[in-house]
Structure 1
Amino acid sequence: MKTCPSSFNCPVEATIELIGGKYKSVILWHLTDGIKRFGELKRLLPRATEKMLAQQLRDLERDGLIIRTVYPVVPPKVEYSLSDLGRTIIPVLDAMCGWGEGYLASLKEKDRE
């Protein structure tokens, strides 16, 4: 039988808790390309409200997956990047992307039938 941390029922639950928010995985995916500002992320996630995006970013920062850097300039400049811990999730995101590509291809194939 698989063992799990005491605060979670299983390791998958722990992973989903960290990256399972409405936009968390997609935010992390976009940050694999490098540093992004809030406005850039908003453009990449047009269906996310500013409030939801800000909350998801706060959660990811709180959980140590991203780093929020604030520069003391006017107007304010804030950048987001993956932390060392956040970079360890890249293989998981790559696997999710590969699976999603296969799934979308199968949907297209079904539409042709």
Structure 2
Amino acid sequence: MATSGRRGPYICGIDAAMDVVSGKWKSLILWELHHHGIRRFAELRRGLPGVSEKMLIQHLREMEEDGLVHREVYREVPPKVEYSLTEHGVSLNAALAPLGEWGTDRIRRIGADRVPVDAAGPARR
């Protein structure tokens, strides 16, 4: 399997994990695909306010190379492409859940503002 990024040598497991999820948008792409299942590119972009088309394409390619995301191309007119999590992506998302809980606790503890989230995904301001 082709891979992106640095690829070791690693100091520890956290180092190896961070190599795969580095970048602001990767964990949010995982979250979006986990909560909404199969998504087309435009749906992902709408669910991630602030991500540029270029950055989303780059991260999706890297995540596909790393075995986290599956890209399904349908040979039809107009072309249709769908993205979903692989088993490896699902397991990474589960591993990140405690970090998300820690972050939510931190938001409460420091009284920081956050964008409200509902079942449909991040709310728009």
- 2:111 aligned counterpart, secondary structure: helix
Give runs of aligned pairs for residues 35-74 of structure 1, distance below 5 A. Answer: 35-74=38-77
Q: Is the 8 A contact 2:63 2:69 kept in 1?
A: yes
Runs of 4 or more above 4 Å deviation? none
| SS of the residue 2:78 aligns to | coil
User: TM-score w.r.t. structure 2 length?
Assistant: 0.77
Rg larger in structure? 1
1:16 corresponds to: 18
Tell me, which stretches of 5 or more residues in structure 2 are unaligned?
A: 1-6, 113-125
Q: How many residues align?
A: 105
Give the drift of 1:88: 0.9
The unaligned stretches of length 5 or more in structure 1 are none
User: Which has the larger helix fraction?
Assistant: 1
Name the Cα RMSD after superposition: 1.7
Write the distance in 2 (CA, Å) between the matches of 1:106 and 1:44. 27
Amino acid at match of 2:57: A
Identity of aligned residues (%): 44
Partners of 1:61 and 1:42 lie apart in 2 by 17
Give the alignment partner of residue 93 of structure 2, picking from 80, 90, 93.
90
CA distance in 2, matches of 1:43, 1:91: 23
